Chain A
Amino acid sequence: MSTPLEFLKIFAGQLQQAEIPFAITSGMACVHYGLQQITKDSDWIIPAEDLGRLRELFTRLEGDLPPWRISYRQICGAPLEAEFMAHGWTSHLSVWDSAGSVEHKVDIFSKPPRVRSEELQMDAEGWASRHIVAQMKRTDRDKDWPIVHGLGQQLSEHQRPEGLLHLAELNALLAAWKAATQQEREQMTARRPLLRMLADRSEIDPLYFERRILLERLIWERVNEQRHTRYTRPWRRFYRSWRQELDWEWPSSEAFTAQHQRLLGAARGYGLPPDPLADTPKEALVETAVAAVCQVAAAAKQEVAEVLPPVYELLP
């Protein structure tokens, strides 16, 4: 029986052997970086163009001795298919790597939220970079934000300018700012307008700074909310329609390929949108989020605009 950490290595080995590129992210990456003590599930970034080969690998593993079992979970997300996954959906699987194995929950991303594709990096062991993990952790859960700052601290101590994008405490930001070159400062300020405060003021009022940090976080949270509801709403609609089918059973006990065909057919048949953001300009999502921030934080639009990251940062 493999423990979650052993499974992580086993599955990574299988992907490497099949020459399928991947990066391990989220909770397990935070354990790896010493910022999260406990997690069991694993999150993997696998490019959409390699998902066909991933499904082939699953078929092979199901035929191995001892056989693996791979199944979609009940809340399965989208089919593991490029037409959906390339547009920000996730796919949720359970994997048993032997008969006596515990269930390993595996979530697959092909277009991870808030991550610019040109920045997608992993090390030779397959760990997503700290910057990628920090971007993905900008959720609306309170517990994720200290991790974002912690990854920023680590990046700064590794002399990486991206630390400036993630730090949320004034002294740490001032130290990282001091260590950065002029070019790095300019590059990072273009991505995080809040950094202008460090350049413009000789003395920064800590409370004034704290308010700006809070506004900035609220922006990320509200933009995330705008984005994810465009996935969860149509998914729920799709699922409600699908489960009306006669003798509907999900997840079925079929082999993964059969399950996949069933889910793919249902997703297409019941109109799960491959790209839920296709009809909404990203600027409009950000504008709605900013209006919410102004209301929640009793902030003027100008005040929010001072810390508003560019649209390509919020919704790449």
Chain B
Amino acid sequence: MKIRIVPPEPEIEYSEDYYEWMARAMGEEKAAWARLPREEREKELTWYHENFNTPDDLAVWPPELDGGKYNP
């Protein structure tokens, strides 16, 4: 298996439709966060990491392997 390296997608401004969908599907707060530049988003995540110590996920197995819902 080979992992192909491709040029990064250019940073683009997503449409208002995209952010409206996000507010509907994930909440206003997340949509507002998503509008921030990447560095700002990462800064916020770092703040969470420094101030909270919560489990990443309550499932023992990673969701990509087991779906996380039915497995303890």
Hey, which bits of chain A sit against chain B, CB under 8 A? 3-5, 21-23, 25-27, 31-32, 34-35, 37-41, 43, 45, 47-49, 75, 77, 86, 90, 92, 102, 105, 107, 109-113, 117, 120-125, 127, 129-130, 136-137, 139-141, 144, 146, 149-150, 153-154, 157-158, 169, 172, 221, 224-225, 228, 231-232
Contacts and interface: CB of A to CB of B under 8 A. Distances in A.
B22 A232 contact: no
A47 B1 contact: yes
A112 B49 CA distance: 27
Interface of B: 1-9, 12, 14-15, 17-18, 21-22, 25-26, 30, 33-34, 38, 41-42, 44-46, 48-50, 53, 56-57, 60-71
The residue among A113, A124, A153 with the most chain B CB atoms within 10 A of its own CB is A153
A250 B70 CA distance: 24
A113 B4 CA distance: 18
A32 B34 CA distance: 10
A41 B57 contact: yes
Interface of A, helix, strand, loop or mixed by DSSP: mixed
A167 B14 CA distance: 15
Contacts of B41: 31, 34, 37
A146 B70 CA distance: 20
B45 to A, nearest CB: 6
Given A123-B5, A141-B67, A27 B56 contact: yes
